[in-house]
Chain A
Amino acid sequence: MTIFNFRTARPVEYYRKYLEQDVRPDGRDLGEFRRTVLNIGCVTTADGSALVKLGNTTVMCGIKAELCKPKTETPKCGFIVPNVELSPLCSPYFRSGPPGEQAQVMSQFMLEVVNHSKCVDLESLCITQGKLVWVLYCDLLCLDYDGNVTDACVLALLAALKNVCLPTISINEETENPETDLTKRVPLPISSQPVSSTYAIFDDNILFVDPTAEEENLATGIITIVTTDDKLCLVHKPGGSPLRPEQLTNCFDRSFDRSKEISRLIDETIHSIDR
């Protein structure tokens, strides 16, 4: 049996053979992310945009800002509405039609990341208290699905938010109508940087970071950890194999390292665009 047939016929056994040597079939060790490529400001029709490639996985985020009326219970708060789209374009496993379960769960997860990390102060989106606020529609398009879309989405969203420049709005005192000044644009203040890292659990005890689509299918559990700078922000473990506390601690350590890598990557990208 050739190696290729073995991989197709007995995928779990195939992976076990590699993992015994603490390495994965694509040559990465267990704590290694795929090469991450970031491009900021690639869509000029959007108010902020970013493209992320994590190995083959590709996610594009475009942000459109609109004006709306705030809720009565939070008159000073604007809105951030993330929406993840997993269309049949990105993988043969998705069907066309209304958003599937996975896409809805992802959208909700992104909303939680935004709310809990407080990366954007919602009050900074206020124009007139109780009357006019910004709503930021953050659309995340998955263009190529090769596993770990969560991490790619969080990075794309953060990078796109950092790219947002909102026009200044003044209220005409006579007519009380808002007037937009498109020439004076101010960047959106970002107060913290949420960074997510996803781990797959294999055979109930081996953990490795940044799973590909194949690895996601073989995994007995998935855990996602979101950190903001040096603090823990969110841990998401939807069932699957139970973990020992020391395994979790290892994951946390790796996540904080990733957080530093990502903030360096974002700084470098923004710096290279400025020049």
Chain B
Amino acid sequence: MAGLNLLSDQGFRIDGRKPNELRRIQCKLGVFKQADGSAYIEQGNTKVLATVYGPHEIRGSRAKLLLDRVLVNCQYSMATFSTGERKRRPRGDRKSQEMTMHLKQTFDAAIMTNLYPRSQIDIFVEVLQSDGGNYCASVNAATLALIDAGIPMKDFVCACSASFVNDNPIADINYLEESSGGPELIVATLPKSDQIVFLEQNSRLHEDNLSKVIDLAVKSCKDVYTVLDRTVRDHVSEVSNSHGWDH
């Protein structure tokens, strides 16, 4: 894109980060009382809220019931005021539907679905402010909400995006970097077992560079994991202290 230097000669990005540096992550578990689990995450200027209900009986059509495992129902929605231009529909447009599908597939792979046959788990994700990396923030928030709800998972699911600029892979891209037309790679991993559960890449990228970008994205997922893990531990010790449990 003309006139926009994504990586300066000194090796800094538009927002002043180094190529492998993540945006600041702030998160909180158990923010709401009505839901069984809830979490709020801020990754830079992207702010996402996730709530989890369940496992509970199947709601709506019983045709969706699965005999051997739990039905994971996701809903991704973006607040109309979350983007620069006002969104007409918070959900139901193709982009949100696609995101809903991706989230469902990601968490189907991570939740121990065989433990709750004939039931349903709802994951609702609301993007309050968007500045790139919506999928990643949504996955991270939903992971925390699932943990808060006490739903057994194989591992944390951590997601991070990456791109490739001037022969340099860059991690956790923001809206400007996302919309500059460069390649975008999104990865969701199970960090402890080093498994990739979701990977999507669009725009042109030379195959020689692909492994570099994936490596950086997977490494960034581990960094995200460190932050999430600390948040969960802090939350658990805070809750157990307030209940006076020994730990």
Contacts and interface: CB of A to CB of B under 8 A. Distances in A.
B81 A46 contact: yes
Contacts of B33: 56, 144, 146
Interface of B: 31-35, 45, 47, 49, 51, 53, 56, 59-60, 75, 77, 79-84, 86, 90, 122, 124, 126, 128-131
Interface of A: 43-46, 49, 56, 58, 60, 62-64, 66, 83, 85, 87-92, 95-96, 137, 139, 141, 143-146, 213
Contacts of B86: 64, 66, 137
Contacts of A95: 59-60
Contacts of B81: 43, 45-46, 49, 62-64, 137, 139
Contacts of B59: 95
The 6 closest A-B pairs by CB, nearest first: A62-B81, A46-B81, A89-B124, A64-B86, A144-B32, A56-B33
A87 B34 contact: no
Contacts of A90: 32, 34, 51
Select the residue from B32, B53, B84, B124 with max chain A CB neighbours within 10 A: B32
B129 A139 contact: no
A43 B129 contact: yes
Given A64-B86, A88-B75, A89-B51, 4 more contacts: A56-B33, A56-B34, A87-B124, A89-B124
B83 A45 contact: yes
A91 B36 CA distance: 10
Contacts of A64: 80-81, 86
A145 B45 contact: no
Nearest to B40: A143
A43 B53 CA distance: 26
B31 to A, nearest CB: 8
A163 to B, nearest CB: 12
Contacts, number: 81
Contacts of B122: 88
Contacts of B129: 43-45
A45 B82 contact: yes
13 contacts: A43-B79, A43-B129, A44-B129, A45-B82, A45-B130, A58-B32, A62-B79, A88-B122, A89-B77, A92-B56, A95-B60, A137-B86, A144-B35
A96 B56 CA distance: 16
A137 B80 contact: yes
B43 to A, nearest CB: 14
Given A43-B82, A87-B77, A137-B80, A144 B34 contact: yes
A46 B85 CA distance: 9
A92 B53 contact: yes
A46 to B, nearest CB: 4
B124 A88 contact: yes
Contacts of B53: 88, 92
Contacts of A62: 79-82, 128
Contacts of B60: 95
Nearest to A91: B34
A43 B78 CA distance: 13
Select the residue from A62, A89, A91, A145 with max chain B CB neighbours within 10 A: A89
A135 to B, nearest CB: 10
Contacts of B130: 45
A43 B34 contact: no
Contacts of A46: 81
A43 B47 contact: yes
Contacts of A91: 34
A49 B81 CA distance: 9
